[in-house]
Homo-oligomer: A and B are copies of this chain.
Amino acid sequence: MTTAEDIALIETTVPIIEKMGLKVVELRRNYAKLKLPIDQNTNHIGVIYAGSLFSLGEVAGGALFLAAFDKTVFLPIVKQVDIRFRRMAMTDVTVEVAMTQADVERISAIAEKEGKADFELALEIKDRSGEVCCIVNGTWQIRKG
């Protein structure tokens, strides 16, 4: 599958994500950068709603899956996410996610053998000035489809 198809998967497959206007900034092997606009995601005080910030972090795990793992073999699920809201997000925000090729191969090998394998991600959601608005720590899992 091409990267264009992966980008469409990330941006449009889940209707509520599409309504948030989440976009792929960059998607390449073992790396993704995503952007969430403030416009569709404001809360009662005009900053980005917590649930939209969470979704940006959660989708980052799915984007990394597409960037790193063999989607003809595995499916991703999210098991657990912890998010800390450090400061209000008053601009569009972005998140970057990456994994080393060694980790991709190690996790894939476990999942090939055992049918599933967990992977953990520690992410920072940053505003336009580079300030960290949220810290996201989560566990995702790949499973043989």
Contact = CB atoms under 8 A, between A and B. Distances in A.
Interface of A: 9, 13-17, 19-20, 40-44, 49-52, 54-55, 58-59, 77-85
13 contacts: A13-B44, A14-B42, A15-B40, A15-B42, A16-B16, A16-B19, A17-B49, A17-B51, A19-B19, A51-B51, A51-B52, A80-B82, A82-B82
B50 A78 contact: yes
Copies in the complex: 2
Contact of A84 (B55, B77, B79): B79
A51 B81 CA distance: 10
Nearest to A75: B45
A81 B52 contact: no
A16 B40 contact: yes
A77 to B, nearest CB: 7
B14 A43 contact: yes
Nearest to A19: B19
A99 to B, nearest CB: 20
Given A17-B49, A17-B51, A51-B59, 9 more contacts: A9-B44, A15-B40, A16-B16, A16-B20, A16-B49, A51-B52, A54-B81, A77-B85, A79-B85
